[in-house]
Amino acid sequence: MIKAVKAQQVDYVELETAFTAICPVDNTIDNYIIKVRYRPRCDNDGCAYIELGSFRDYLDGFKGRVIYHEDVANEIINEIMKSIRPVELSITLISNYRGIKYVLERKINM
């Protein structure tokens, strides 16, 4: 679960980090770089942001999981939407599979 924190407004937030999962085709380790960019949703109490420690813990939960790249991207974007409901959100998921750079992108605008 990704937690939210409230703080004063900024225009955009960008996060980038690495994590791993298991390839369902050949059971090898998939190494990922994820880039998250979002515009926070704001109200009178402030703006909702991803709490970084919970984001790290969430991504660490993929370690040892057997899952396709596309399903990883969709699970992450759905969890972020559920936790902070940003105005705009895009994620880029980058993997290197047998020397092939594989890049997935999802975008949502509310």
Per DSSP, the three-state class of 75 is: helix
Active site residue 23: yes
Strand partners, 39: 88
**Contact criterion met (CB below 8 Å) for 81 and 23:** no
Neighbour count for residue 1 (Cβ, 10 Å): 9
Per the residue annotation, which of 23, 45, 57, 71 is the catalytic one?
23
DSSP 39: E
Neighbour count for residue 4 (Cβ, 10 Å): 17
> What token pair was written down for 90?
């895009």
Active site residues: 23, 30
